[in-house]
Chain A
Amino acid sequence: MALLQISEPGQTAAPHEHRLAVGIDLGTTNSLVATVRSSMAETLPDEQKRHLLPSVVHYSADAAPLVGDEAQAKASQDPLNTIASVKRFMGRGLADVKSVGSRLPYDFIEEEGMPRIRTVVGALSPVQVSADILRSLRSRAESSLGGELTGVVITVPAYFDDAQRQATKDAARLAGLNVLRLLNEPTAAAVAYGLDKAAEGVYAIYDLGGGTFDISILRLQRGVFEVMSTAGDSALGGDDMDRLVAQWIMQQADIAEDAEHKHIRQLVSMARAAKETLTQQDTAPLSLQFDNGQQWQGQLTRTQFNTLIEPLIQKTLMPCRRALRDAGIASDAIHEVVMIGGSTRVPRVREKVAEFFQRQPHVDIDPDKVVAIGAAIQADVLAGNKPDSDMLLLDVTPLSLGLETMGGLTEKVIPRNTTIPVAKAQEFTTFKDGQTAMAIHVVQGERELVTDCRSLARFELRGIPPMVAGAARIRVTFQVDADGLLSVAAQEQTTGVYSEITVKPSYGLADNDIESMLREAMENAGDDATKRALREQQVEADRVVNALKAALKADGQQLLKRSEFDTVNLRLNNLLNIMRGTDPQAIKIAIDELEQTTRDFAARRMDKAIQMAMQGKALDEFDTETEH
């Protein structure tokens, strides 16, 4: 009888149940999953004690996809069905794909938006390939933790744009994961690092991974991680070093530009091995043997390698400068430079970064695991396992968000490095009499010309009441949430009519694509769609019930009148009955009804929370603080 308990303050609350939550580092080269167990954050190994899962998926006609080392082993023998570094294609177009030699790495299908890859199991979107990697990590986590996951935190490069973030979230949805938050990789690293060292002050996180580069400047103060600025390049990383080395070998060994896919794969993995050798040795021997009889022997010296990659490293220093500038600090204001991402193992990278910041960077944490560990710590907090945690992450938008105006120019609506969540409203008017529709093109980037920025989406507003030209005032609101994802709403101001918005993402998947992929995935998994829908509604109902019980216990007596309290209880009781049934639609209706009833209560609680933030904080307490 839960309801009786609620009306007696201090007697509710089931013993706290530990919810299973994990952090996932979905990397270009490798992926990891980590969790917090007995207050220790650790990465989870597979049955063979391997922690790193190579982000490689192999598809075959007659078996389930292979993920990880087993897939990697198929790379040179079946290159077109073995997809690696798929993260580089997320939310990107075919024009963004880089290649070694003259061939593209896979059999891409030429189409607008995100390209699909032709494999033996059909054309696959990068989102589907990523979902297969996530599924593998999910089953690893669920079997090692012994239960279903409540939620996950997935990390993304800080410099990922909206399309890339949305694609990542879609992949998670396909893999059946409940995303608590998309977390920026440098911020995740700062969490792992900062909590470990109980650090305070300003930190620079230099993150050079397999395919992406990020620099973030953060201020750490009593559990609050405030990102001051971020910059980077979402298509720059260790893969590019491998490609440069592979191209160099092609020249040295006289290999044709249009060499076969499997030979290119062989070259690239040899290049990567040489790069890894050179982190410890001064020379790396190279030996090629193709199945067509072509042979070549040679070596790569560290000096030669450094010359090859110099332009890449230079390309990372420019964003460092910009990040410092946007944060409004000089490099001597930085307490420490922390290096993460596998590519920071390259000695030349460390030297150049040390030179730039004029101090030795920190390299004492495992650059591969730190992001997953940070994500796990955040997941544990968000899942509600640490109700007393002080930790709070305040992140920013990496790129300016703008609109196309007359003449193909960009008008910035939300500048880069604005703390999220953020919302900006802009007013538009009609330029023709009786105009009822209008198109809005949203772009992301810093450049003045729309064509130099990244197209995010085209929104079409319909249902504008017909008026004379210039009379309608349409207020369009752009909201970026805590995951860095954009949503748009529009309202005509003079009549209050809400305009209908259709979104055509430039690189993402439309909602119906996702639906059909989900259906497909469920059919393959032998999952029943209604069963899944029921489960989803039950989880949401559970969440609503628990949140409301806790809220009533804390503030019910104080903030609700007796009659209001009774109505809320009635609806709550109703939901508790219905959620035991088997009708997902009925549960949804009961949830909506309950939320209707508690709207004022929720608003009052939020006001109280804000007042609490200010109370008990006397002025002199603030005055003792100094800000530098």
Chain B
Amino acid sequence: MPLTDTHFQLFNLTDSFEIDSAALAERFRELQRNTHPDKFANSSEQERRLAMQRATQVNEAYQTLKHPLKRGQYLLHLKGIEMKDEQAHSMDQMFLFEQMELREKLENMARQSDPVTALGQFMDNVEQRLRNLIQTLTQEFKQEDSNACQDTIRKLQFLYKLQEEALNLEEQFI
């Protein structure tokens, strides 16, 4: 199993956006059981270095495969498609308009009478949108529609960024 293996190969999975997260977590633990530097505490310096390299690779692969956005981007990368930072105007106008509204709502959150509850609802809304997009992306990968995949991945990037900002705001409230 050389270092040049893909993350999917390392986890013995076929290249697919749909993933069984329980199986993924279990394989992660199995792989770590065999590569973690602690399993080589009594080995030579060289083997310890190797173990660290492998365990690092396993962690990297797991982080990528576990996260829908990173997994989607990685799958496209394997298909030879590199996503570029494209101009916003090439995106769905409707979606951008919604994003602007959502952002405005988030910026005004602190002025709400009950900002904590309002933010909670806002985050549920974002969560639901993320779930829908991930479902769409699953279909698009099944249909091997790379252009549609790229569009959806870009939308996912927007929403994850929004979610992160909402979480940062929550930290300020509490």
A609 at the A/B interface (Cβ < 8 Å)?
A: yes
Alpha-carbon separation in the docked complex, A2 to B63 (Å): 44
A479 at the A/B interface (Cβ < 8 Å)?
A: yes
Q: Do A609 and B44 have beta carbons less than 8 Å apart?
A: no
Q: Closest approach, in angstroms, between the C-beta of B57 and any C-beta of chain A?
A: 9
Q: Do A421 and B59 have beta carbons less than 8 Å apart?
A: yes
Contact with A along B25-53 (1 / 0, CB 8 A): 11101111111111101111111001110
Q: Do B34 and A613 have beta carbons less than 8 Å apart?
A: yes
A92 at the A/B interface (Cβ < 8 Å)?
A: no
Residues in chain A near residue B46, CB distance under 8 A: 595, 598-599, 602
Q: Do A547 and B41 have beta carbons less than 8 Å apart?
A: no
B94 at the A/B interface (Cβ < 8 Å)?
A: no
Residues in chain A near residue B30, CB distance under 8 A: 613-614, 617
Given contacts A423-B60, A609-B34, A623-B20, contact A602 B50 (CB under 8 A): yes
Instruction: Tell me the number of A-to-B contacts counted with CB atoms below 8 Å.
Output: 131
Q: Do A180 and B33 have beta carbons less than 8 Å apart?
A: no
Q: Closest approach, in angstroms, between the C-beta of B50 and any C-beta of chain A?
A: 5
Interface size on B, residues (CB 8 A): 43
A244 at the A/B interface (Cβ < 8 Å)?
A: no
B139 at the A/B interface (Cβ < 8 Å)?
A: no
Alpha-carbon separation in the docked complex, A599 to B53 (Å): 14
Alpha-carbon separation in the docked complex, A30 to B44 (Å): 35
Alpha-carbon separation in the docked complex, A316 to B36 (Å): 32
Which residues A508-564 have CB closer than 8 A to chain B?
540, 543-544, 546-548, 551
Contact of B42 among A384, A595, A607 (CB under 8 A): A384
Q: Closest approach, in angstroms, between the C-beta of A558 and any C-beta of chain B?
A: 16
Q: Do A606 and B35 have beta carbons less than 8 Å apart?
A: yes
A221 at the A/B interface (Cβ < 8 Å)?
A: yes
Contact of A627 among B10, B25, B45, B56 (CB under 8 A): B25
Residues in chain B near residue A322, CB distance under 8 A: 171
Alpha-carbon separation in the docked complex, A226 to B58 (Å): 14
Q: Do A625 and B23 have beta carbons less than 8 Å apart?
A: yes
Residues in chain B near residue A180, CB distance under 8 A: 41
Q: Do B52 and A625 have beta carbons less than 8 Å apart?
A: no
Q: Do A626 and B59 have beta carbons less than 8 Å apart?
A: no
Given contacts A423-B60, A546-B42, A547-B43, contact A481 B37 (CB under 8 A): yes
Alpha-carbon separation in the docked complex, A591 to B25 (Å): 38
B2 at the A/B interface (Cβ < 8 Å)?
A: yes
Residues in chain B near residue A546, CB distance under 8 A: 42
Residue of A nearest to B44 (CB): A544
Contact of A610 among B23, B35, B62, B170 (CB under 8 A): B35
Contact of B27 among A598, A603, A614 (CB under 8 A): A614
Q: Do B10 and A610 have beta carbons less than 8 Å apart?
A: yes
Given contacts A181-B41, A421-B59, contact A612 B34 (CB under 8 A): yes
B109 at the A/B interface (Cβ < 8 Å)?
A: no
A95 at the A/B interface (Cβ < 8 Å)?
A: no
Q: Do A610 and B1 have beta carbons less than 8 Å apart?
A: yes
B54 at the A/B interface (Cβ < 8 Å)?
A: yes
Q: Do B52 and A421 have beta carbons less than 8 Å apart?
A: yes
A102 at the A/B interface (Cβ < 8 Å)?
A: no
Alpha-carbon separation in the docked complex, A614 to B32 (Å): 11
A438 at the A/B interface (Cβ < 8 Å)?
A: no
A418 at the A/B interface (Cβ < 8 Å)?
A: yes
A453 at the A/B interface (Cβ < 8 Å)?
A: no
Q: Do A382 and B167 have beta carbons less than 8 Å apart?
A: no
A422 at the A/B interface (Cβ < 8 Å)?
A: yes
A392 at the A/B interface (Cβ < 8 Å)?
A: yes
Contact with B along A599-625 (1 / 0, CB 8 A): 100110111011111100101001101
Which residues B6-26 have CB closer than 8 A to chain A?
10, 12, 20-23, 25-26
A394 at the A/B interface (Cβ < 8 Å)?
A: yes
Alpha-carbon separation in the docked complex, A161 to B60 (Å): 22
Alpha-carbon separation in the docked complex, A544 to B40 (Å): 11
Given contacts A181-B41, A384-B41, A547-B47, contact A613 B59 (CB under 8 A): no
Alpha-carbon separation in the docked complex, A226 to B1 (Å): 25
Q: Closest approach, in angstroms, between the C-beta of B4 and any C-beta of chain A?
A: 12
Q: Do B56 and A421 have beta carbons less than 8 Å apart?
A: yes
Q: Closest approach, in angstroms, between the C-beta of A367 and any C-beta of chain B?
A: 26
Q: Do B35 and A609 have beta carbons less than 8 Å apart?
A: yes
Given contacts A607-B1, A627-B21, contact A392 B42 (CB under 8 A): no
Contact of B12 among A381, A419, A614, A623 (CB under 8 A): A614
Given contacts A423-B56, A625-B26, contact A383 B51 (CB under 8 A): no
Residues in chain A near residue B34, CB distance under 8 A: 609-610, 612-613
Q: Do A603 and B50 have beta carbons less than 8 Å apart?
A: yes
Contact with B along A173-206 (1 / 0, CB 8 A): 0000000110000000000000000000000000
Contact with A along B61-81 (1 / 0, CB 8 A): 011000000000000000000
Residues in chain A near residue B41, CB distance under 8 A: 151, 180-181, 382-384
B88 at the A/B interface (Cβ < 8 Å)?
A: no
Residue of B nearest to A150 (CB): B42
B100 at the A/B interface (Cβ < 8 Å)?
A: no
Which residues A382-422 have CB closer than 8 A to chain B?
382-384, 390, 392-394, 418-422
A482 at the A/B interface (Cβ < 8 Å)?
A: yes
Residue of A nearest to B40 (CB): A547
Residue of A nearest to B55 (CB): A421
Residues in chain B near residue A124, CB distance under 8 A: none
Contact of B52 among A381, A482, A599, A610 (CB under 8 A): A482
Residues in chain B near residue A606, CB distance under 8 A: 35, 47, 50-51, 54
Q: Closest approach, in angstroms, between the C-beta of A627 and any C-beta of chain B?
A: 4
Alpha-carbon separation in the docked complex, A221 to B29 (Å): 9
Residue of B nearest to A548 (CB): B44
Residue of A nearest to B5 (CB): A610
Alpha-carbon separation in the docked complex, A543 to B43 (Å): 7
Residue of A nearest to B62 (CB): A419
Alpha-carbon separation in the docked complex, A547 to B47 (Å): 9
Given contacts A598-B46, A602-B50, contact A224 B32 (CB under 8 A): yes
Alpha-carbon separation in the docked complex, A472 to B29 (Å): 40
A325 at the A/B interface (Cβ < 8 Å)?
A: yes
A321 at the A/B interface (Cβ < 8 Å)?
A: yes
Residues in chain B near residue A381, CB distance under 8 A: 38
Residues in chain A near residue B2, CB distance under 8 A: 607
9 examples of A-B residue contacts, CB within 8 angstroms: A221-B29, A325-B170, A421-B56, A482-B36, A613-B30, A614-B27, A622-B23, A622-B27, A627-B21
What residues make up the interface of A, taking CB atoms closer than 8 Å to B?
151, 180-181, 221-222, 224, 226, 318, 321-322, 325, 381-384, 390, 392-394, 418-423, 479, 481-482, 540, 543-544, 546-548, 551, 591, 595, 598-599, 602-603, 605-607, 609-614, 617, 619, 622-623, 625-627
List the 7 closest A-B pairs by CB distance, nearest first.
A622-B23, A382-B41, A627-B22, A609-B34, A613-B34, A547-B43, A544-B44
14 more CB-based (< 8 A) A-B contacts, given A224-B29, A420-B59, A614-B12: A222-B29, A392-B33, A419-B59, A419-B63, A479-B56, A482-B38, A544-B44, A551-B43, A602-B46, A610-B10, A613-B31, A622-B26, A625-B22, A627-B25
